[in-house]
Amino acid sequence: MSVGFEVNGRAVNVNVTPRTTLADCLRHELKLTGTHVGCEHGVCGACTVIVNGDAVRSCLMLAVQAKGAKITTVEGLSMEEGLTPLQTAFKKHHALQCGFCTPGMLTTLHALLSEEPHASEDRIRDVISGNLCRCTGYVTIIEAALDARSSYQSGEGDKA
């Protein structure tokens, strides 16, 4: 089936079988391999992308269901040179080690802080509980998110 949607500000049209998940479509058809696939059944959060402003699991959405949607993947967070404040905070706080969970962490936290720039530490912990990380122990990820909050509060969370 032919499906049109927008990825990271660019209009795309893909031809996929209905069973193709959005995650596989992004990775295999559009070569956006920043979106990682861990469990393929909704448990790990590595595949999180932002669809019409909402963080969703791209392994639990069909590509054909993305028709007309605006999608942001981790590649879309900083298209220009440089890193966004959230990415910079991840680097500063060592919030990644192997990096497998990182795209999902970044997209989830970006969606959260864009919508709730004053999210409390408890709220951030609750939201991140849906994303597994085998390396960091999470503490540094929470620290990075708390550090990046101020840039979302001043409306600069998007700026690289």
Ligand X SMILES: Cc1cc2nc3c(=O)[nH]c(=O)nc-3n(C[C@H](O)[C@H](O)[C@H](O)COP(=O)(O)OP(=O)(O)OC[C@H]3O[C@@H](n4cnc5c(N)ncnc54)[C@H](O)[C@@H]3O)c2cc1C
Residues at the interface with another protein (CB under 8 A): 1, 17-19, 21, 24, 40-42, 45, 48, 54-57, 59-62, 64-65, 67, 108, 112, 126-127, 129-130
Partner interacting with residue 4 (select from another protein, ligand FES, ligand X, none; CB below 5-8 Å by kind): none
Partner interacting with residue 84 (select from ligand FES, ligand X, another protein, none; CB below 5-8 Å by kind): none
CA R_g for the chain:
15
Site for ligand X in 28-87 (CB under 6 A): 42-43
Q: Is 79 in the site for ligand FES (CB under 6 A)?
A: no
- Tracing tokens 């001043």 back to the chain, one arrives at 154
x/- mask, ligand FES, residues 85-104, rule CB under 6 A, reads: -----------xxxxxxx--
Amino acid making up residue 56? V
Partner interacting with residue 134 (select from ligand X, ligand FES, another protein, none; CB below 5-8 Å by kind): ligand FES
Positions touching ligand X (CB under 6 A) are 42-43
